[in-house]
Amino acid sequence: MIAIEPHPITHARLKFNTQASGFPQVHLVAAAAGPTDGELMIETDGDNLGASHIVTGTPTGKAFKVPSLRLQRILEEAGADKVDALKIDVEGFEDRVLVGFFRDAPEQLWPRAVVIEHLSKDEWTDDCIADMHTRGYVDQGRTRSNTLLVRS
Determine the average pLDDT of the residues in 24-39. Answer: 92
What is the value of pTM for the model shown? Answer: 0.88
The per-residue pLDDT for range 118-138, each reduced to its tens digit, is 988 998 999 999 999 999 999
Tell me the C-alpha distance between 33 and 54, whole Å. Answer: 10
Measured torsion, CA atoms of residues 39, 125, 5, 37, in degrees rounded to the nearest 10: -30
The per-residue pLDDT for range 35-65, each reduced to its tens digit, is 999 998 888 776 666 566 677 777 777 888 9
- The CATH architecture to which 2-151 belongs is 3-Layer(aba) Sandwich (3.40)
Report domain extents, the chain.
Answer: 2-151
Consecutive H or E run containing 13: helix 8-21
Measured torsion, CA atoms of residues 81, 87, 93, 99, in degrees rounded to the nearest 10: 40
Q: What is the pLDDT of residue 23?
A: 81
Question: Mean pLDDT in the chain?
Answer: 90
Q: What is the pLDDT of residue 49?
A: 60
What is the percent of the chain where pLDDT is above 70?
A: 94
